[in-house]
Chain A
Amino acid sequence: MQLSREDLLEAYRAMKTMREFDERLHIEFATGEIPGFVHLYCGEEASGAGICAHLGDRDHIASNHRGHGHCIAKGCDVPGMMAEIYGKETGLCGGKGGSMHIADLEKGMMGANGIVGAGTPLVCGAALSAKTLGTGGVAVAFTGDGGSNQGAVYESMNLAAVWNLPAIFVFENNGYGEASASSWATAGGSIAKRADGFGIPQVTVDGADYFAVREAAGEAVARARAGEGPSVIECEMRRFHGHFEGDPQTYRTEEELAEVRATRDPITRFVARVREAGLLEEADFAAVDEEVGALIERAVTEAKAAKVPAVETLADHVYSSY
C-alpha cells in the first residue's frame, strides 16, 4: 500500500489526537470534575483512524460507548467534544449527551451509544438512505467484542445482506467485554467468522497495525461503493485502560498491561514503521505532537471555562413540535 506523505501525517495526527484526548481525560477524570461515565479508546486508535481514512462527509458511522476515537476520526470538532464531556452548553450536543452520546450528523457521525450493539441497525438505515437517495455513501458500525454478542448485531448483518446494503460492520475486539475476556464470552472463537453464516465477506486484522486496518477497510469500502453489499472486519487489539475510568481492572495482570503497552501500541508501531521506511522524520512527528498538544490544551481550558446549560433548556429538543 502506497500512502502519500499527507496521508501518513493525517493518520498520525488522527491517532495522536485520539491518544492525547483520552490520556488527558484519564488525568482530568481523576480530579472529579467530569460528570458521569467515561470509556477510553487508548490502544485502539488504528481501527478508528484506518477505517475512517476512507470516509468523507457523505458517509456515516455509528459508534458505541467507547466512542471518542471514532468521533475524532470522523472529523468531529475536538473542543466541542471535550465541552460535551464536561457537560457544557458549548458541547457538540449542548451538554445533553455527554461522553456516551457525542454526535454530529453534519460530519456523518450518528452518535456514540450507551447500548452496545445498538448502532448496527442504525447503520443499516444510513446505508439504506445512501442506496435509496443515490449518494454513493457507505455506513460503518463500530461494535466491541462485548456488543458483538447482541442479537441486534446479527439481525442487522442479516438485513444488510438481504437488502444488499453498503454497510460495514467493524468489530473492535479489545480482549474484554467489561470484566470478562472475549475469549470466554465469544463461542466459536471468532467474531468475524460468524459473518460466513450470512455470506458476508469477512477478515480479521491486527488492530494495532494501522496499515493492515486501512487496507482491509479499503477493500470493504470499495465493495460497498460498488454495490456489492456489506463486509465484516474484526480488529484484534487490547485496550490500555479499564472498561470505564475507575475500573480497578482486577481481571488483568500487571504483566499483561505492561506487555500490551510495550508491544501492542498502534502509535509506536506506526511511528517505527514509517521512520524505518524513511517516509517521515522526527521533525514531522514533533510538529504534529505540538499541534495536537496545543489543541487538547485549548479544548480542556475552554471546556472548563464554558457555561453549563441554562436550566430553561431542560425540556428543549424532546420533539420538533409538540
Chain B
Amino acid sequence: MNTPTSTPAKPKTFRAAINEALKQEMRRDERVIVMGEDVAGGRGGPAEAEEAWGGPFGMTKGLIKEFGPGRVLDTPITEAAFVGAATGAAMTGLRPVVEIMFVDFMAVAFDQILNQMAKIKYMFGGKATLPITVRCLYGAGFRAGAQHSQCLYPMLTHIPGLKVAIPASPYEAKGMLAAAIRDDDPVFFFEHKATLGMREPVPDEEYVIPLGQARVMREGKDVTIVAIGRMALFAAKAAEALAAEGIDCEVVDPRTTSPLDREAILKSVRKTGRLVVVDEAYPRCNMATDIAALAAQEVFRDLRAAPRMVSPPHTSVPFGGPLEDAYVPSPARIAEAVHTVMNDK
C-alpha cells in the first residue's frame, strides 16, 4: 500500500494532491464529510453559485459537485461551533474533515480542541472514537501578518489525545492525508501556504503514508538535520550546498510531531554524532527544543558537538518584507548552524 505501482506518476501541485486525497477518501467511505468556511462558497449569494470558491485556496474544488451539500458543508465563520460539531459528529458515527483555513483561527475554537476533542476518549475511559481530521494552513512567507502566519503545531503536539501531521511536499501530503482521514483519532493536518503551488510526481492511485514514520530525505555521515514541513525542503537545499563543501548531511523529516518517530531521529544522531534541528515555529517550547532535549537525554554520549536549534526569533511574525524575510529560517542559516556543529570540537 505504501509504494504505488502502475503508471508513472504525473507532477501535481500540493493543492491538487490534497484535493485528490479528499475525493478518493470521500468515495471510499461515505461517512467522510467535509466542512469549513466556503469549502464550496456562494451560499445565499445573488449569483446562486453552486461552488463560488471550492475553498479559500481551492483545495476543496469540485467536492460539492460530486458529493453534494449533505457531505460538503459550508459553515458560518464560527470555528468554535463547527470544530465542536465535528467532534460531536465523530462521536456519533461520521468521519469529519474540517478546514479551519489558517491555523491561527484555532484560537477561537481552542476549548473545543483542548478540552473536548482531545480529552473525550480519555475521560470516557476509552469508550469513544474520534475520527476527525482538521486541515489548516500554516507558516510565514506570505506577507500575511502576525495573525495569518503562525505555525502553532507545537501547541497541539503538547496536548495528549491529538495527532499532528506536517507534510513537506505534494507526494507526502496525499499519502498522509489519506492516513489522517482513515485514522480513528483526531489529526491536525498542516499545509504550508508557501508550498501550495509546489509540484512533484504524485500517483493517481490511492496510497497511505502511515503517521508516526519519519523519512530520511538524504543519507549522510557528518551531521543530522531534523526538519519539519517547509523547513525539510530548506534543509535538503542546505544539505546540497554543504555537500559541495564536502560536508555530508543526513536530513530526517519526522513528518508527524505526534506521534514522533523518536527512534528514526536517534538512530541518525547515533550515526553522525551531530544534530541540527530546524523549526519554523516560535523558538520556546517548540519541536527544536523538544528534539534537542530528546537527543541530549538519550544519546548524549554519542554526541560529538552540542546540538543547534534553528528557529525564528521570539517575536510575532512581522508583516513587512525585509522583516519577514529575516524572520523565517533560511537554507543559509541552516548551513551556518551545520558549520557551527562541525567546528565544535
Contact = CB atoms under 8 A, between A and B. Distances in A.
Q: Do A and B bind each other?
A: yes
Interface of A: 60, 62, 91-97, 101, 103-106, 110-111, 113-115, 118, 120-130, 132-133, 139, 151-152, 155-156, 158-159, 162-163, 316-322
B127 A105 contact: yes
Contacts of B115: 114-115, 118
Given A128-B88, A152-B112, A156-B84, A317 B120 contact: no
A101 B124 contact: yes
Q: Which 6 A-B pairs have the closest CB atoms?
A: A125-B88, A121-B84, A94-B125, A317-B126, A155-B81, A122-B88
Nearest to B130: A320
Interface string B56-81: 00000000000000110101101011
Contacts of B91: 105, 110, 122, 125-126
Interface in B77-129: 78, 80-94, 96, 111-112, 115-116, 120-129
Contact of A318 (B70, B86, B122): B122
A205 B313 CA distance: 57
B109 to A, nearest CB: 9
Interface residues of B, number: 45
Contacts of A111: 120, 123-124
A93 B111 CA distance: 21
B212 interface: yes
Contacts of B96: 125
B122 A155 contact: no
B161 interface: yes
Given A152-B80, A320-B121, A133 B126 contact: no
Contacts of B112: 118, 121, 152
A29 B249 CA distance: 62
A320 B185 contact: yes
Given A105-B127, A115-B111, A159-B75, A126 B92 contact: yes
Nearest to A62: B88
Contacts, number: 159
Contact of B124 (A105, A128, A133, A139): A105
A100 to B, nearest CB: 9
Contacts of A126: 88-89, 91-92
B251 interface: no
A68 B259 CA distance: 36
A316 B90 CA distance: 20
Nearest to A104: B127
Given A118-B112, A139-B88, 9 more contacts: A97-B123, A97-B125, A103-B123, A105-B127, A122-B116, A152-B80, A156-B81, A319-B161, A322-B163
B226 interface: no
Contacts of A123: 88
B231 interface: no
Contact of B116 (A95, A118, A124, A321): A118
A94 B126 CA distance: 9
Given A129-B92, A152-B112, A93 B85 contact: no
Given A115-B111, A133-B94, A322-B259, A96 B122 contact: yes
